[in-house]
Amino acid sequence: MHSALLIDEILQVILEACATWTEQEYRSSLCRIARCCKTWSDPALDRLWVRLDGITPLVRLLPQADVLGQDEIEGAALARFCAYAHRVRSIRHTDAVRIPSTLRGFLTLPRLASIRFRDGGCQTVDFWGMSSSVREVDIHFGFSRRRVRPDDALTRYLKELHDASPNLDVLRVRGTTSAQFLRNVSVYTALSTLDLRVGTSLSMELFCKIATTFAALRELTVDARHLDAQELLEGLTSPTVDTEIFISLRDLTLQAKPALASALLQLIPSCTLETFHLDAQWTPDAPPSPLRQVFAHLPDSVRALSLECFDDVDIVDRATLRPLARLAGLRRFDVQVAVTPCLHDQDARDLAAWWPNLEHFVVGAVEDVCGLPRDYGMTPAVYAFFARSCPALRSLALPVHIPASAEELPDAASLARTPSNANGRACTAVRCHPLRRLDIGTRKTTPASIADFCNYIHTLFPSLTSLEASDSGLQGIDLLQQVAGPKPQSGLDTYYHNILTRHGFTES
């Protein structure tokens, strides 16, 4: 063995490089490395035991019940357990495991930082997760409708953990649970991240308490689909509430009706929120254009905005998006809806002009989930708008119509010039555009002009490494390879050349 391999720093670099292997390969290799020599044993074992998917490996280290006396514990076995338990930083409980009661006062995981409870593991006894080092707790009860209360053990656990680990930073709870369990959640006011997707178990009283007392909260994910907007306003603006809500919030993910989202955004400080994700829940009694009110109340500090709505409704149009024009610092915009938005070239040009700092832009580049017929209103001209107005753009997805023949092409002469190129001067800045990924949306069949289209796209975005289509018609076709295909037909060639010329792009 080379002496360099006995240096811990070098060995750690090698082990870290191997971490990219599959989980099974990596763990199997660590087992073999740990048996090679004493120098390699500890580094390999540290990595092997740092994260456990269950407590079975720890249980196997415990003294067997049949060899224990009434009040004595096999010292050597307990010492071995403690040596390995000291390596564990993260553990996931999926099964309830019973151990002899005589051992309970001796078991501890002193360096445990992250713990997850799933399914039967929610009944795991408390000492498997009690440590002053715990920073992250993730609990998933499940959403079973059976009237079984699986949270008694975890209710006691959260109550005791609050005193044992005052620096808990992240708490995630999902599934149906009890009011008593959630009352214990409400005392963790020092959290910086809270994920609370517990369905109707979340009361308005608890939500308002979180909003007013979790002063350090920076990231919140909450399912509030059942909460009423008017009740929220009354609860947070009553005379008894004398403080601002969510004063440190930076990232908000909300499952809610648009009315509640709008009401909540009105009360959040205008200088803190940077990321907002709305999973909009539609109701038949929703007012016209309810998303417009949500967007109108977004604070100017927002840098990333995403929207999901998979109900059978057409909710995104130019008028809905117009209040977002003031978000000049927006860097990420993502809309995933069931009905593809009906937007046209002029709408796309306005969006690109509103947000010059965009890095990621996705608008409805998927097939209508509900199957409604919809003609794509955008033409390939929109790519020129984004190439000119958004120099930092790295990924782009739009529902664009790719013409099949020259006769179907729109009149290129009607395309307006971008303000930044109003004098018509040639511009070669496109050569350094950083766009790496482009999604052209759903295509049932391969357009006849696909090779011409790919050449046009490559001229605008020479750094492109991924050109994708979400469909069956283009499966197995490497779209980027189409750039090196045969010369385009004269009609289509003229069409794409005119778009480039009128927006100041020239080939050099």
Q: What DSSP string runs through 322-360?
A: GGGGG-TT--EEEEEESS-----HHHHHHHHHH-TT-SE
CATH 3.80.10 assigned to 320-507: yes
Q: Collect the ranges in the chain with pLDDT lower than 70.
A: 1, 63-74, 99-106, 124-127, 144-151, 285, 287-288, 365-376, 405-432, 442-447, 470-493, 495-496, 503-508
Q: For 396, list phi and psi in degrees, rounded to 5.
A: -145, 135
**And the tokens for 391?**
């120099």
Residues present in the chain in total: 508
In the prediction, which pLDDT does 424 show? Answer: 45
State residue 80's pLDDT score: 83
Per-residue pLDDT of 361-388, as tens digits, reads 998 754 544 444 455 678 888 888 999 8
pLDDT confidence of residue 100? 64
pLDDT value for 326: 94
> Coil, helix or strand for 171?
strand
CA 108 to chain CA centroid, nearest Å: 34
User: What is the number of helices (H) and of strands (E) in the chain?
Assistant: 16, 15
Mode of pairing for the β-strands spanning 114-118 and 136-142? parallel
Domain ranges of the chain: 320-507
Report angle CA 394, 397, 401 to the nearest 5 degrees: 135
Secondary structure percentages of the chain, helix, strand, coil, to 5: 40, 15, 45
Please report the pLDDT score of residue 353 as a whole number: 94
Strands 193-197 and 114-118: unpaired
CB atoms inside a 10 Å sphere around CB 398: 23
Largest distance between two CA atoms of the chain: 93
What would the two tokens of residue 143 be? 């959403």
Looking at residue 124, its pLDDT comes to 66
Across 211-264, the runs of DSSP E, i.e. the strands, are: 219-223, 251-256
User: What is the number of other CB atoms lying within 10 angstroms of the CB of residue 464?
Assistant: 20
